[in-house]
């Protein structure tokens, strides 16, 4: 995880509120597995002191909290050895300063003594999903274009598959320019097992809502996909919150943006008792044997992200 430290990115008391929400996430995960927080020595203090003692601190400078995007993409070879596939982070196509965040993957690789494998791609792991059995899913809007990758879409897909160990690329159009990420897939759809995905979508798309129509397009693409066993993908649908506690314009009320850790699923709740309960029940069914822990992360949702955006998993090395 990354400690947000650049006050220029935030307004008023936003930074303080975001740090407290991040503490809540880190401490919850630390009850189940090791947590590392990247944070410059100079920015430690204040809310940082509220992190649980189990959270380990690494002296790697950061700008913002989005470790899913700026952090290292860990990969494992056939013998269990780790490396980092380098998806170069450029502030979502130059939309935000990233002097420190753009160097995080390389600095983590250096600290751990891991190979840094160049992918030839600029982008963010929040913009790609994979099912662990060959299928890779992304919105083209988050990868294609001169601000990230001025390459043919097929070439981008080939490089993503090579970087992540995938064998088949699935592209949905997505949505350009409506948010800083250009519609990262991890706010809409997540693979929960090989050949099965969870999508947050309403039963009836709203023609007047560009987000609703883009989501419907993604669902249509996925409905046409066949699994490795030549069967349709299993589709699980989840309804988003009918109301939230915030009026922020960029608020992301995505239950899909959760983190799966050892023994638990750490997910957001938004104050809508009915849909919060439905999300908890659905996640419990999809991840049997794991506790579903739901947290108030409104301050992070107001910044346009969620728990998955704020975390990055590191597999256990077998060597």
Distance CA 128, CA 69 (A): 10
User: Are 225 and 233 in contact, with CB atoms under 8 Å apart?
Assistant: yes
Mean pLDDT, rounded, for 75-93: 95
Q: What does the pLDDT read at residue 106?
A: 98
The C-alpha atoms of residue 252 and residue 222 are separated, in whole angstroms, by: 22
Domains of the chain: 7-301 (3.75.10.10)
Given 67, 161, 261, 309, the catalytic residue: 309
Average pLDDT over every residue of 280-298: 98
Q: Pick from 83, 82, 100: which is nearest to 91 by CA? A: 100
Model confidence, pTM: 0.96
Eight-state DSSP code of residue 207: T
Please say if the pLDDT value at position 105 is more than 90. Answer: yes
Distances (CA, A) of 221 to 169, 182, 188, 218, 260: 12, 18, 13, 5, 25
Tokens 């739901």 belong to residue: 294
C-alpha span between 218 and 185 (Å, rounded) = 9
- Per the prediction, the chain carries an average pLDDT of 96
In angstroms, rounded to a whole number, what is the distance separating the alpha carbons of residues 222 and 199? 10
Phi-psi region of 99 (alpha: psi -120 to 50; beta: other; left: phi over 0): alpha
pLDDT at 45 over 90: no
Residue 229 has pLDDT above 80, yes or no: no
Q: What is the pLDDT of residues 124-140, one digit of tens each?
A: 999 999 999 999 999 99
pLDDT tens for each residue of 267-283: 999 999 999 999 999 99
pLDDT single digits (tens) 143-152: 999 999 999 9
Rounded to whole angstroms, the Cα distance separating 136 from 160 reads 8
Average pLDDT of 41-69? 92
Q: In the prediction, which pLDDT does 46 show?
A: 82
Measured CA to CA, the distance from residue 304 to residue 181 in angstroms comes to: 9
- The mean per-residue pLDDT over the stretch 2-11 comes to 93
Q: Would you say how long the chain is, in residues?
A: 319
| Cα distance between residue 1 and residue 90, in whole Å | 18
- For 155-159, what is the mean pLDDT? 98
Residue 81, CA distances (Å) to 75, 315, 318 in order: 8, 10, 6
CA distances for 302 relative to 10, 221, 305, angstroms: 11, 29, 7
161 annotated active-site: no
Calculate Rg over the CA atoms of the chain.
Answer: 18
Q: Assign 3-state DSSP to the chain and report helix, strand, coil percentages, each to 5.
A: 30, 25, 45
Mean pLDDT of 23-44: 93
> What count of other Cβ atoms lies within 10 Å of the Cβ of residue 161?
18
When pLDDT is averaged across residues 291-317 and rounded to a whole number, the result is 96
Alpha-carbon distance of 311 to 215, in angstroms, equals 24
Q: Mean pLDDT across the stretch 160-165?
A: 96
Nearest to 88 by CA among 22, 159, 136, 170: 159
């Amino acid at each position: 995880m990354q400690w947000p430290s650049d006050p220029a990115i935030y307004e008023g008391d936003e930074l303080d509120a975001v740090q407290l929400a991040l503490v809540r996430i880190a401490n919850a995960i630390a009850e189940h597995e090791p947590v590392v927080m990247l944070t410059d020595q100079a920015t430690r203090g204040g809310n940082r002191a509220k992190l649980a003692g189990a959270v380990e601190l690494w002296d790697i400078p950061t700008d913002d909290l989005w470790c899913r995007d700026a952090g290292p993409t860990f990969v494992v070879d056939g013998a269990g050895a780790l490396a980092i596939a380098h998806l170069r982070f450029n502030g979502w196509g130059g939309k935000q300063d990233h002097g420190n965040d753009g160097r995080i993957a390389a600095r983590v690789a250096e600290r751990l003594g891991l190979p840094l494998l160049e992918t030839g791609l600029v982008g963010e792991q929040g913009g790609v999903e994979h099912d662990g059995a060959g299928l890779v899913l992304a919105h083209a809007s988050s990868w294609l274009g001169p601000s990230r990758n001025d390459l043919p879409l097929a070439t981008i897909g080939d490089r993503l598959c090579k970087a992540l160990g995938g064998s088949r690329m699935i592209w949905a159009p997505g949505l350009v320019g409506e948010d800083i990420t250009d519609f990262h897939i991890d706010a809409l759809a997540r693979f929960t097992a090989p050949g099965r995905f969870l999508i947050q979508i309403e039963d009836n798309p709203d023609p007047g809502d560009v987000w609703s129509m883009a989501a419907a397009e993604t669902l249509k693409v996925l409905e046409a996909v066949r699994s490795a066993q030549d069967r349709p993908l299993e589709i699980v649908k989840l309804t988003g919150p009918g109301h939230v506690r915030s009026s922020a314009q960029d608020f992301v009320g995505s239950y899909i943006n959760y983190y799966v850790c050892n023994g638990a699923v750490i997910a957001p709740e938004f104050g809508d008792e009915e849909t919060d309960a439905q999300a908890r029940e659905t996640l419990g069914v999809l991840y049997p044997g794991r506790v579903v822990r739901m947290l108030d992360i409104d301050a992070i949702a107001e910044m346009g992200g969620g728990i998955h955006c704020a975390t990055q998993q590191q597999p256990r090395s077998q060597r």
